Structure 1
Amino acid sequence: MRASKLLALLLIAATSTSARAHGEQDHAKKPAAVVKEQKPWGIAGDRRAARRSVEVGMGDNMRFTPARIEVRQGETLRFVIRNRGQVMHEFVIGTKQELDEHAALMAKFPDMEHDEPYMAHVPPGQTGEIVWTFNRAGEFDFACLIAGHYQAGMVGTIVVAPATHRSQ
């Protein structure tokens, strides 16, 4: 997200009576309707289209397991994100630039609430889920953007291989 868009979201969150912070409360509940907005790294996916699930573990050692995920362009994945730690963690997909900008904003405003289909906030001992369609080839990142976690190296890579076209 651009800094201006993030600032606008921050202002909305700050003035909303229903905004939640990055505390230990339950972030597992998602709104019923997912907004499908094309991002450089893909678009929110339909759970029925997911042919593969990938379990991603995260812990207080500030690491993801696995830290590298390979996908084919056009593939819809169901990420099952397990927080094996004792503190809140999150899994956010994006480009390095967008994650850098968002992490800087989170460092300034650690209680900022955000909820997008490409992110999951997972309390200790809980499991979250993201369904995402990788419709663009390239190398993208995922990270925990809770203040200090990203800076401690809680990042990973998603490599989306271009779809191969069959000639007839």
Structure 2
Amino acid sequence: MGNMDMGTPAATDMGDMAVDDGEISEEETERLMAGQMAGLIITDDGPFDREISLSMSEWTFSDLDIEAQPGERIRFTLRNDGETLHEFMFMSMAGMQGVNYRARRADWSLLEHVALYEKSLMLPGEEITFVAEVLRPGGWMFMCMLPYHMQMGMMGQIATPGMAMDM
């Protein structure tokens, strides 16, 4: 599926995650455990209930509010239809609150976040595919966290009924 960075502070390629004996890496295990706790797991493939095409460009996504049902598996095809480099990540609402707090600090670093899923650099025209499994009711943010992209509007959400935030 290409070079997909997963949501760990030290992201790795998917190709580096599997070891020869069929076990998953420690980083992948930590990412999946974080997803279990947050109620949303992202995988590279597998069965799905519906498919969503999502486009990113300057300075938005084609859909900013996606409703999902607990237990649903959604296959996303995400494409950078913009003319500039972008990033894509899913974060829990609690993770976003941590980013909002740290963003106000003078010593904040863009590396100070824990994402449930992250593709750190998407060139114009690049496309990725993944499956999001909604484990339980909740809400999760997706965004581009390159400097000022999120503040200019590159932020959306996937939420179960009654769990969406006013944005």
TM-score, L = length of structure 2: 0.65
Amino acid paired to 1:57: S
Identity score, percent: 28
Runs of 4+ in 1 over 4 A off after TM superposition: 112-117
Q: C-alpha offsets along residues 26-51 of structure 1, whole Å, 9 cap, x if unaligned?
A: xxx63354542224141234722212
Equivalent residue for 1:93, pick from 70, 85, 90: 90
Structure 2 CA distance for aligned equivalents of residues 156 and 69 of structure 1: 8
Among 65, 68, 82, which residue is 2:65 paired with? Answer: 68
| Other structure's SS at 1:47 match | coil
Matched residues in 2 for 1:75 and 1:108: separation? Answer: 35
Distance 1:97 1:48, change over 3 A: closer
| C-alpha contact (below 8 Å) 2:91/2:114 kept by paired residues | no
Tell me the TM-score normalised to structure 1 length.
Answer: 0.65
Classify the secondary structure of the residue corresponding to 2:46: helix
Contact 2:44 2:130 in 1 (8 A): no
Q: Give the equivalent residue in structure 2 for 1:25.
A: none
Is there any run of 5+ residues in structure 2 with no aligned partner, and where? 1-6, 19-27, 163-167
CA contact 2:95–2:115 (8 Å) conserved in 1: no
Q: Number of paired residues?
A: 137
Instruction: Give 1:92 shift.
Output: 1.3
| Aligned twin of 1:147 | 147
